[in-house]
Amino acid sequence: MINPSVDNQVSENRPRWFRWFASVISIMLVCVLLAGYWLLNSQSGLQWTFSVVHRLSSGAIHFDGVRGALHDLRIENIHFVDDEFKLEGQNIRIVWNPGKLFYKQIAIDQLTAETFKIHHWASEEDTPHRTLPESLNLPLALSIHALTIDSMYMATAENKSAELIITNLVLALESDGHMHHLKSLNFHTPWGSVNALAEFNGSSPFDLSAQIDLSGVDPWGDAQMLITGSLERMKIQASTVQSTITGDLQLQLHPFADNPVVQLDANIEQLNPASFIAASPQASLSLSAHFAQNDSGQLQGKVRIENHATAPYDAGGLPLSLFSTQAWITSESLKLQDIDVQMDGDGLLRGDLIWHWDEQFGSADIRVERLNPYHIDSRLQAAQVSGQIQWSGNVQTQSARIHLQDKSVNLAAVIARSRENVTLEQLNLQRNQSQFTGRGKLALGHEKLFELSGQLANFNIADFVRTVDSNLNAVLHLSGQLSPHVSGVLKYTIQNSRLAKSPVSGSGEIAFNGLNAFDGKVELKAGSNHLVAQGSMGAKGNAFDLRLKAADLAQLGFGLAGDLQAHVNLTGSFEAPDLDLKLTSKRLYLQDNRSVSGVAVDASLHNEVISLEALIEHYDAHEKIAIKKLTIGTQGKISNHNLSIKAQINENITFRLAAAGGVDPKKPLQSLRWTGQFTEIATTGKMPVRLLSPAAFSVSAQSVSLDQARFSISGGFASLDQLHWTSKDWKTQGNFSGIALFPGSQQAFNQSPLQLGGHWNFVSTQQLMGNLKIFQEQGDWYLPGEVPQPLGMEKLQLIVTAERGKLISEFNLFSQSIGSITADLTMPIKQSASSWSISHESALHGKVNVDINTFNWFNALLDGSMSAEGQIQAHVDIQGTLQQPDFSGTVSGSKLSVVLLDQGINLQQGTLAARFHQTDLKIDRLHFITPHEVPPDKRLFGDFESEDMRGSLTITGNIGLAGNESRMDFTIHQLPLVHKAEYWVIASGSGEIRFQNSRLNLKGNLWADAGLLLQPPEGHPELAEDIVFVNAPEQTVQNLSLLLNMSLNLGERFHIRVAGLEGRLTGQLQVQSDENNKLKLNGTIATQDTSFKAYGQNLSVKRGIVSFQGPLDDPELNILALRENLAVEAGVEIMGSVRYPRVKLISTPDVPDTEKLSWIVLGRKPDASGLDTSVLLAAAGSILGGQSGGGITEKISAALGVDEISFRQAGVGSSLTGQIGVVGKRLSSRAYLSYERGLTATTMGITKLTYNLTPKVTIVTQAGEDSAADLFYTIQFD
C-alpha cells in the first residue's frame, strides 16, 4: 500500500532540487560566460591571463605593459630566459582571431614588433650534439598573414654587445599542421637583402624545398640559393648573379650526422680580398674546392687557389700565384697533404700539415725552394733562398725551426715553448759580411717577463733592404715585463759604424715604466747630424733635455733631406709638466715629392700657462705650392687659452680660424678633452665662408662634437645643428639656403646667380641612416663668355638617402636651354674601420632619362667657329658594379646638325639610333645629310652630276664608357667640304676609328669625286715667332697617340688654281703615322692639262710630278713647264726635293740661258742694246734665284762682268719707287760703282759712286734722276 503523503512530499521536493541545480548550473554558465568575456575583452582579464602564464613558466616568461584585448593585444616588453638564450621584445602588437581555436586553428592577422634582442649564452664549444627530431608537426593549423619586426639584435657569449643583424623583417606563413608553407620572408641585413620562399613537411624525413634570393650583398652582388631534399639529407645550390665575382656552390649535407658535409663543389672567379677587408692586398683569385666523403667517413678533396694579378705587398698586391693541397677533414683531425704554394717568380713552398682536434696536437713540415724576397716586397733585396720550416706541438709545448739560405744569405731560428715559457733559442741572420745574432725569452705568466739581446756585426742594411749602404756594429739588450704595463731597460752601443758615407756612433741606457716614467741618456751621431737626449721624467723635480742638430738629413738616406734643429726641455711630472720647445728648419724635403720651408716653432708650458708660435713659409706638394704661409698661435692657460690659425692657400684662398677653450690638466692623458668654442672661421675664394656666431666645440681622442654653428657661405648661410663623432658612431644634422654658385669671378658677375638650398640628417651606428637634399631656390646658371648665357633652369634637385645598407640618390634637372635630365641610382655601402665606403664590386641599380631639345647651351661654350643643334633622348638602365657597370637602354636623336666653319663642314638633317650594351654605347646608325654648295667655277665640273645634289655621312660602331675600346666605322658619300676662299671638295670613302687608353687608330680609304683648290687670301695678321706672352696660361699636354693609315685618291675631277698654277691633279697618297705621332706620306701627285702663269705668260706644264717617300715636308720634284708655239720653246725644269731643288732653264733648240729667259718672259730674243736686262734679271731673280749653290743669276752676272745683280724695294727718300734692279761693279778696294733703275718705270735711273776715305768716313756721289754728293760718318755702339 502506498503512502500518498510521502509520494507527494517527494514529488514536491524534486522540482525544488532540480530548480536549485539548474539555477546553480545556470549561474556557473553565466559566470563562465562572464569570465570568458572578461578574459577576452577586458584589460584586467588579459593581464590576469599573462600573469598566470608567467607563474606557470616559473618566471621564465615575463610581460610588461600588457593592454588591449585578447584579440588585439599590445605588450610593451616581453622577456624570455632559459639556459641557452635570452629573448627581449619591445612594443609588440598581436591581432588574431581566438574563435578559430575552436576549429583547431591559430589565425594571426597581424603581429608587429619594434625590436627583438637575442642573447645567446652558450658558446660554440657548449653546443650539444643535435639529433633528428621525431616530428615537427603542429597540434593546430597556423596562419600568419603578416609578421613584421623593425629590427633584431644579436649578442653571443663571444660578443657581449648586441649588434644589429636584421631590419624590416616581413613574414607570411601558412600551415595545416603537417605541411608548412613559408609564403614570403623578406628582411635586410648589414650585408644585403634577403627574399625567401619555402615549403616543409613536418613528418619524417621532413621533405623541404626553398629558394633564397640575396641582393646587394657587397661585394658578392646578387646571389640565388636553392635548397632541396629533406632535413636529413639536404642539397644546396648557390650562384652569383650580376657581379664581378662569379661563382657557384653545390653542397650536400646530412645536418645531424657527425660529419654533416657529404659533398662540396665550389668555384669562384675574380675574388678580390680587398673587397672584403680594406687592409687586405689587391688580387684576382680563382678558387676551386671539391670534397666528398670517402668510405671511412672522411671529407676528402682538393683545394686550388690561383692569383691572376700577382704583385708585391708594397705595391698593394699579393705575391702568391698558386696554392693547392689535398685535404682530409673529420671531426677528429684536419690533414693537409701535398701543399704546393707558388710565389711570384720561381719561389715554391711545399709540405704537409696535420692537426688533431681532440688531442690539440699538430705538426707541419714546409720545404722552401728558390724564394725571392724581392718578389714578396720590392723594397727587399733579391735572393734565392731555400730551406725548411718545421713546427710541432700542442697547446702546452711547441717548437719551430727555420733554416733558409742561398749562396750569400743564411737565416736560422729556433723557437720553443714549454708551458708558460717561450724561448728564442737561436736567431742568426747573415748575408755577405752582414750578421745579426739574437736570443730571447718570454714568460707567459702574470707579469709576462721578457728578455731580448742582439748583436749587429758589419751589418749592411742594404744587403736586405733597398736603401743606402751601411756598416753597423752594435749591441742591444732589452729586458722587462709586459704586464700590468710595459716596463723595462733598454741598453745599446753603436761604434765603428757607417751610414751611407757618414760615420755613426752612439750609446744609451733607458729605463722606462709604461709611458708615465723614464730615465736615462741617449746619444746618436750620423755624419753632421747629432741627437742627445738625457734626464728623467715621471716624478716631481725630474728634468729631461733633448737636442737635435740635423744639418744634412740627406746623409741618413731614408728619403729625407734638408735641415732640422730642435731643442726640448721638459721638467716636472707628466701630470704637471713644464715644457720649452724650439724647432727650426730652412728647408725640409719629405717623401712623395713634398717639402716645407721656413719652419719656426717656439712653444712653452709653465705653471699651466701655454704659449705657441708656429710658422711655415711654404708647403709644396708635387712641385706645386699648396700653402704659401701658415701661422699658428696659442696664448693662455691649459684650461683657458686662445688659438689662432692663418693660412694662405695657393694664390686666391685665405683661411682664418680662432678658438677659445681648454682642457682639464688634472685628468689623465688618455682622458683629456679640449672644450671651448670657435670664435672665427673664414675662407676667401670663389665660395667665401664665414662663421656668423661663436660655436661650441669639443674634441678628444674618443669623440668630436660641434653644436649649433651657423656659417655665411657665398651670399647664403649654412646652419650646422649637430655634429657628433665617436669611433663607433656619428651623427650630423643641418640645413643651408641662398648659397650662390658663380660661373667665374663673383666681382665680375652682375647677373642673378644660381642659389641652392637644402638640408641633411645622417646617423651612423651599425647602419648608415639619413638623407641629404639639395635644390634650386632661385636664380639661374650662366655659361661663361663675354655675354653670359642663362640656361633657363626651372628645377635642380638632388636627394641622397641612406637606409638598409644602401645609398639611394635621385637627380632632377629641368632647363629651358637644355631640356630635362632625371636619374636615380642605388648602391650598397659598407663600413670600414673609419668610414663608410662604396666598394668597386658593389651592385648598382639605377636609371637615367635625358631629353635634350636644344644645343644652344653647348654652342655658348664654343668659340663661334663650331655650332651644333638638334634633339637627343636617352633612356638608360644601370646594373652591374662600379668596377664593371652594365648599361642598357636606348639613345635617339633627330634634327641634328654640326657646322665647322673653319673646316668647311656643314652636317644637317642628322638622326641617331643607339643602344647601351654593358659598358658600351652601340651606335646602330648616326646619319647626316649635307647639301652641296655651288662650285666656284661650274665650267670645270660640267660633266659632274651628284645624286640629289647632297652628300651624307654615316657612322656605326660602339663607344666604350668604362675605359674599354671604342670602335666606329664611318662612310661618306659625296660629302662636301667647302671653304669658299680656299677649297671646294666633294669626297667619298669609308674607314674605321678605334680609341682606347689615349690611343687613336684611324684607317680608311677616301677619294675625291670632285675638287678645286683655290689661292688662300693673303695678309692674315700673324704674330712673329719671337713674340712671347708673359703669364700666358699653361698649355695642357695631350698624351694622345695617333696611329693613322689613310689612303687618299684625288680622282679625275680634282682641279687647282694656286699661285698661277691652273689645271687638274691626279694621284694617290697613303698617309701613315708611327708610334711617335710622326706622319709619313707615300705616293705620287701628277698634273694633267695644267698651265702656269708667270709675268703675263702661260707656261704649259708638260710634266708635273710630286713624289712622297716618307717626310711630308720634303717630297721629290719632277716638273717641266714650257712656253710653246714659239721659234724657241723655252721653259723651266725643277728636279730634286722641296728642300734642295735643282732649277735650270731648258729650250728647244738649245740657246744660252739669257736667251732662254728672254723667250720665257718676252717671247723673243733679248734686245741687243741691253734694254731688256732689268726685266730679265727681275725674272731670273724671281723664278730662279731661290735655289742653293751657283744659280742662273750668278752665271748672268759673271757673263756680264759685274759683281752684283740684285732686286730690292726702293729705300725711303729715294727718287726711285717700287721694285728696283741693281747692277754693281767694284773698281778698287775703296771704290764701288752701281746703277739702280726702277723695274716698272721709264726713267733713266741713278748712277752711284761710293768711296771709303776711312773706315768711318764715306763719300757718295750720284747722277741721273737725282744728282747729289753726300758725306757719311759712321758711329757704332757696341
Q: Is residue 790 in some structural domain? A: no
Answer left, alpha or beta for residue 559, where phi above 0 means left and psi between -120 and 50 means alpha: left
Long-range contacts of 947-956 (CB under 8 A, 24+ apart): 947/974, 950/974, 951/975, 951/976, 951/986, 952/927, 952/928, 953/907, 953/927, 953/928, 954/925, 954/926, 954/927, 954/928, 955/923, 955/925, 955/926, 955/927, 956/923, 956/924, 956/925, 956/926
Residues 427, 505: one domain? yes
User: How far is CA 201 from its chain centroid?
Assistant: 52
In b/e form, how buried is each residue of 186-201, taking b as 16+ CB within 10 angstroms? ebbbbebbbebebebb
Query: Could you read off the pLDDT of 182-224 as tens digits, one per residue?
Result: 999 998 887 778 899 999 898 888 899 999 988 766 666 678 8
Residue that terminates a domain, selected from 499, 527, 555: 527
Determine the pLDDT at residue 128: 56
Dihedral sign of CA atoms 974, 976, 981, 982 in order: negative
pTM exceeds 0.75, yes or no: no
Compute the distance between CA of residue 125 and CA of residue 1129 in angstroms, rounded to an integer.
Answer: 116
Residue by residue, what is the 3-state secondary structure of 829-859? CEECCCCEECCCCCECEEEEEEEECCCHHHH
Determine the pLDDT at residue 2: 41
Residues 867, 1010: one domain? yes
Determine the pLDDT at residue 1113: 65
Which range has the top average pLDDT, 125-134, 294-303, 422-431? 422-431
Residues 271, 387: one domain? yes
Compute the distance between CA of residue 599 and CA of residue 616 in angstroms, rounded to an integer.
Answer: 5
Residues 867, 1007: one domain? yes
Q: Is residue 764 in some structural domain? A: no
Determine the pLDDT at residue 15: 46
Instruction: Taking residues 884-889, report their average pLDDT.
Output: 82
Residue 444 structural domain: 408-512+520-527
Name the band, by pLDDT with cuts 50, 70 and 90, for residue 1135: confident
CA-atom Rg of the chain in angstroms: 48
Residues 384, 417: one domain? no
Query: Could you read off the pLDDT of 45-66 as tens digits, one per residue?
Result: 666 666 766 676 676 778 788 7
Residues 1099, 1177: one domain? yes
Q: Is the pLDDT of residue 1181 over 60?
A: no
Residues 393, 465: one domain? no
Residue that terminates a domain, selected from 475, 503, 527: 527
Which range has the top average pLDDT, 315-324, 353-362, 983-992, 1110-1119? 315-324
CA distances from 702 to 193, 830, 1157 (A): 32, 22, 99
Q: Is the pLDDT of residue 1042 over 80?
A: no
Name the band, by pLDDT with cuts 50, 70 and 90, for residue 685: confident
| Cell output for 108 | 594571426
Residues 286, 383: one domain? yes
| Three-state secondary-structure class, residue 901 | coil
Which of 634, 628, 639 has the alpha carbon at shortest distance from 597?
A: 628
Q: Is residue 457 in some structural domain? A: yes
Q: Is residue 1159 in some structural domain? A: yes
CA distances from 769 to 167, 719, 1115 (A): 12, 20, 71
| Three-state secondary-structure class, residue 274 | helix
Residues 896, 963: one domain? yes
Residue that terminates a domain, selected from 149, 165, 190: 190
Residues 272, 338: one domain? yes
Residue by residue, what is the 3-state secondary structure of 951-970? EEEEEEEEEECCCCCEEEEE
Mean pLDDT of the chain: 81
Residue percentage of the chain with pLDDT more than 70: 81
Q: Is the pLDDT of residue 837 over 90?
A: no
Instruction: Taking residues 796-803, report their average pLDDT.
Output: 91
Determine the pLDDT at residue 306: 93
Bridge partners of residue 917, in order along the sequence: 888, 920
Residues 74, 109: one domain? yes
Q: Is residue 760 in some structural domain? A: no
Compute the distance between CA of residue 887 and CA of residue 1055 in angstroms, rounded to an integer.
Answer: 49
AA identity, residue 761? N
Are the beta carbons of 965 and 922 closer than 8 angstroms?
no
* Cis? peptide before 484, omega within 30° of 0: yes
Which range has the top average pLDDT, 256-260, 418-422, 798-802, 1228-1232? 798-802
Residues 432, 476: one domain? yes
Query: Could you read off the pLDDT of 214-246 as tens digits, one per residue?
Result: 876 666 667 889 999 988 889 999 888 656 678
Instruction: Taking residues 928-942, report their average pLDDT.
Output: 76
Q: Is residue 734 in some structural domain? A: no
Q: Is the pLDDT of residue 981 over 70?
A: no
Q: Is residue 1081 in some structural domain? A: yes
Instruction: Taking residues 288-308, report their average pLDDT.
Output: 89
Q: Is residue 1196 in some structural domain? A: no
Determine the pLDDT at residue 25: 46
Q: Is the pLDDT of residue 810 over 90?
A: yes
Determine the pLDDT at residue 660: 94
Q: Is the pLDDT of residue 1186 over 50?
A: no
Domains of the chain: total? 7
